[in-house]
Amino acid sequence: MAKYGNRTTDNALTADEGKDSISKAFEYIEKETDWHITDREKFKNATGVYYDSKKVGSVFVEVANKKEEKGVLKIQLRPLSFDEGSIIRHIQPQIRTKRIRLPKLFLDSPWNEAAGYGFLIFEDLSPLPKIWSSLPPTQEKDFKQHKDFLKEFVHNLLPVQPFVDKPKENQLELAQESFDHYWGIAQQSSHKHFEPVEIENFKKRYFEALSRMSFEDLHFTHGHLSGLDIVYDSANDQYGVMGNLYWKWRPKYWELTFPTWNNLMHIRDKNLTFDKFLDVVNRWVNLGSTELYDHDPSTKPQYWINLFSFAMNTIMLDLGASEWKENEIQERELLLDCWKKFFDYIAKEKLK
């Protein structure tokens, strides 16, 4: 088991397109359950891949039951430490606020080796608007609503009882293990946008900086609280939280720093400058006011350690070794250059 206890990328080195397993899963659903596939294309953009379109972890299609009630079928093609159905059943009863809920489960079966897949049929929340109205978010209402959600999540949902033990390793040890894991995936990738010696230089500076740091305690939380993972039901003033595979032990301020990273990763700008990039960072810094915490998190090293780690992983993997679409090469190059400058900025200005 991964040292963080619930890591979804452990299958990245062995994943393929999974066509046979997908066909078997669809056939089983149609023949053996009360659900049938109604639209294979609706959730095509939600396909889960490991940095490469030919390494598929999960697929999503629209389904309906005999009463024509709609749902979402997720086919899980790779083994996981914990299946999503069990996670939802564990977390939902612990939520103490009526303003946040997880999607309803209709039917699920954990991944098993004999079948070669697992599946989950859950409530379709896609008719509800995501809390980001555009990618990347630009409108003030997007940030205001995200802040409202985070206040509710941090103050009225956390803490929850974890379903996995807290790591025994310290954060420096976990950072080393995490780096080795993601560097292994990057080295195997057929989409490299770096020279290995360049990554070695970043690695040296990365661990030199971390070795001087004091870390905040880990806490158990949802790890993917971007505006893509949260929908808003205005009729009931309620947020629906998706992506529930990602509950695990995380550093403090993760709820704020992950959407910052996700926002930055969705920038598509052929005239991107580092000043523009930093403006986005500062917008999230300003979001993390004392309404979320009893202090300004950007004054704490852990806040910048989180972003520093995102920068390292992005340089070597999320951008450095991921598949780039032909029409996005210029934008991706500029974005990767900004992440390298951001790494330097944090090292020199925030982790002295």
User: Does residue 2 carry a pLDDT above 50?
Assistant: no
**Residue 19 pLDDT grade (very low, low, confident, very high; cuts 50, 70, 90):** confident
The angle subtended at Cα 343 by Cα 340 and Cα 345, nearest 5°, is 110
CA distance to 271, 297, 351, per residue, from 200 (Å): 29, 30, 20
Residue 256 CB: number of other CB atoms within 10 A? 24
DSSP state, residue 92: G
200 and 314 both lie in a single domain: yes
Report yes or no on 128 lying in a domain: no
pLDDT computed for residue 80 by the predictor: 82
CA distance to 22, 50, 61, 269, per residue, from 119 (Å): 10, 19, 11, 37
- What are the residues facing 240 on neighbouring strands? 101, 231
3-class secondary structure, 222: strand
Specify the higher pLDDT residue, 3 or 339.
339
DSSP string, 45-90: GG-EESSSTTSEEEEEEEEEETT--EEEEEEE-S--SS-HHHHHHH
193 and 89 both lie in a single domain: no
pLDDT computed for residue 4 by the predictor: 44
State how far the Cα of 267 lies from the Cα of 280, in Å rounded to an integer.
10
Map tokens 């989950």 to a residue. Answer: 120
201 and 281 both lie in a single domain: yes
| pTM across the whole model | 0.91
pLDDT in tens, 236-254: 999 999 999 999 999 999 9
Report yes or no on 223 lying in a domain: no
pLDDT in tens, 146-185: 999 999 999 999 999 999 999 999 999 999 999 999 999 9
Specify the higher pLDDT residue, 317 or 21.
317
CA distance to 49, 54, 89, 119, 136, per residue, from 262 (Å): 16, 22, 27, 27, 8
Range of the domain at 53: 19-122
Q: Do 254 and 221 form a contact (C-beta atoms < 8 A)? A: yes
Compute the chain's Rg from CA coordinates. 20
DSSP state, residue 147: H
pLDDT computed for residue 13 by the predictor: 55
**Residue 16 pLDDT grade (very low, low, confident, very high; cuts 50, 70, 90):** low
State how far the Cα of 114 lies from the Cα of 120, in Å rounded to an integer.
17
pLDDT computed for residue 1 by the predictor: 33
Map tokens 């808003």 to a residue. Answer: 232
Q: Do 50 and 7 form a contact (C-beta atoms < 8 A)? A: no
190 and 84 both lie in a single domain: no
Q: Do 213 and 189 form a contact (C-beta atoms < 8 A)? A: no
Least confident piece of the model among 54-63, 295-304, 342-351: 54-63
pLDDT computed for residue 7 by the predictor: 60
User: Does residue 299 carry a pLDDT above 80?
Assistant: yes
172 and 311 both lie in a single domain: yes
CA distance to 43, 171, 192, 193, per residue, from 320 (Å): 27, 24, 6, 5
Number of H helices and E strands in the chain, helices first, is 9, 11
Specify the higher pLDDT residue, 352 or 12.
352
- pLDDT mean over 258-271: 97
User: Does residue 204 carry a pLDDT above 50?
Assistant: yes
287 and 177 both lie in a single domain: yes
Burial 337-351 (b: 16+ CB within 10 A, else e): bbbbebbebbbeebe
199 and 103 both lie in a single domain: no
- The tally of domains found in the chain comes to 2
Please say whether the dihedral angle defined by the alpha carbons of residues 167, 169, 170 and 175, taken in this order, is positive or negative: negative
179 and 74 both lie in a single domain: no
178 and 303 both lie in a single domain: yes
Phi/psi of residue 39, nearest 5 degrees: -155, 115
29 and 95 both lie in a single domain: yes
pLDDT computed for residue 10 by the predictor: 65
Report yes or no on 258 lying in a domain: yes
Task: Determine the residue type at 118.
Answer: G
User: Does residue 313 carry a pLDDT above 60?
Assistant: yes
176 and 85 both lie in a single domain: no
User: Does residue 6 carry a pLDDT above 80?
Assistant: no
Q: Do 108 and 85 form a contact (C-beta atoms < 8 A)? A: yes
